[in-house]
Amino acid sequence: MIDFFNTLLYPIKLGEAWVMYAWHWLFDVIGLPTGWAWALSIVGLTVVVRILLFPLFVKQIHSSRRMQLIQPEMQKIQKKYKGKRDPESQKAQQQEIMALYKRTGTNPFSSCLPILIQSPFFFALFQLLNNLKAQSEGKMDAIGPITQQVAAQIESSRIFGASLSDHFLGTQSLNVKILTGVLIVLMSVTTFTTQHQLMRKNMPAAALDNPFAKQQKILIYLMPLFFAISGVNFPIGVLIYWLTTNVWSMGQQFYVIRNMPAPGSAAYKAMEARDKRKGRATKHVTVPGLEGESDTAASVAVEEPKPRQRQQPVSKKRSKKKGRS
C-alpha cells in the first residue's frame, strides 16, 4: 500500500524537485547563501503551486458564497422538518436540500476541493525533504535534479543553525526547536486568522445561525491546535511550505472579501460604505434558482459603472438655428 502511494506521488515529487532546483539556481545567481536559497526555493515552489491552483480557488470562493447565500432557504427546509425523525421525513428533507443545490447550482463539496488537491503536493514535499538524509548517504535513488551530491548540499545547508530536513522531535538542538516552534506558532496563528476572517467578515448573520456554522466555529479553534500538535513531526521545509500557503491564502481571501463580499456580511456593509463615499452604485445579480426569494439571500454585489453619455458635435449652422428658435 505504501509503495503504491509512493508511486502515485512520484510525478509530483519529481515536479517539485525541478521547481525547487530552478528557484535555487536563481537565488544562487543572485548571491544568497545556500541555506537561504534552498529555504526560499520552497517559498517559490509554494507560489507556483498556488498559481496553478488559482482557478480552483476562484471556484471555491463562488461555491462558498453560494452556500452562504442559500442558508436562509436551507433553514426554511430544516425548520419545516424540525423534530421529525421518521425515515420518510428525513428522506423528504434530504430530497428538498438536494433539489435546492441543483436549482441554485451549488456544490457543497467544491469548497473542499482546493484542500484535497493540495494534499498530494504537501505529502510529496514531506517525502522529498524527509528522505534527503537517506539520499545524501546513497541509500535512495536520485529524484530528478536532486542527486546524492545535491541532497548532501541541502542537508549541510543551514538557516538559523537548522537544516530544512530537521524537525522538532528529531533533534536535541535548541536552534532547531526554537525555529520549528516559531514556525508552528505562526502556522497556527495564520490558520486561525484565515478562518476567523472568513466567518466574521464574510458571512451574513443568517448564515451564522445554523448547526453547520456552529461546527465551523468550533473548527476555527480546533484546527490551529491540531496543526500545533502535528507540526512537531514535520521537517522545517514542510513548515515553511505550510506557512507560505497560509499567508498566500490569507492575502487572497482578504482581497476577495474586500472586493466580492457576501451580501449581508460585515464586509459587504463596509464595501457599501466605500461605494457610497466614492459615489458608485451597485447592481444586485440574483443567484439562479433563488429569483424572487429574499433579496438578502439571493444577491451578489457587483460594481456598476455609470455610463457616460457621448455629446454629439453640433455644427455652426445647427447652433445658429437653435439660437433663433
> In a structure prediction context, what are the per-residue pLDDT tens digits for the chain, which is 325 residues long?
667 677 888 899 999 999 999 999 999 999 999 999 999 999 999 999 888 888 777 777 777 777 767 777 887 888 888 888 888 888 888 888 888 888 877 777 766 666 677 788 888 888 888 888 889 888 888 899 999 999 999 988 889 988 888 888 877 888 889 999 999 999 888 888 877 776 666 666 655 665 666 666 677 677 778 877 888 888 899 899 889 988 988 888 788 777 777 766 777 788 888 888 887 765 554 455 555 444 444 443 333 334 444 445 555 555 455 455 4
How much is the CA Rg of the chain, to the nearest whole Å? 27
166 occurs within a structural domain: yes
**Angle at the Cα of 171 (from 168 to 176), degrees rounded to 5?**
55
Domain count, the chain: 2
- If asked whether residues 123 and 246 sit together in one domain, one would say yes
- If asked whether residues 175 and 283 sit together in one domain, one would say no
319 occurs within a structural domain: no
According to DSSP, the residues that pair with 162 across neighbouring strands are 159
- Contact criterion met (CB below 8 Å) for 227 and 188: yes
94 occurs within a structural domain: yes
- If asked whether residues 56 and 149 sit together in one domain, one would say yes
Output the pLDDT for position 179: 92
Distances (CA, A) of 221 to 109, 188, 198, 215, 267: 22, 10, 14, 10, 22
- If asked whether residues 227 and 283 sit together in one domain, one would say no
What's the grid cell of residue 11?
A: 510525478
308 occurs within a structural domain: no
Give the single-character DSSP code of 162.
B
145 occurs within a structural domain: yes
316 occurs within a structural domain: no
- Contact criterion met (CB below 8 Å) for 300 and 284: yes
- If asked whether residues 115 and 218 sit together in one domain, one would say yes
281 occurs within a structural domain: yes
Question: To 10 degrees, what angle do helices 54-69 and 113-130 make?
Answer: 140
pTM: 0.72
Give the single-character DSSP code of 281.
E
102 occurs within a structural domain: yes
Domain that holds residue 236: 2-81+90-268
- If asked whether residues 113 and 70 sit together in one domain, one would say yes
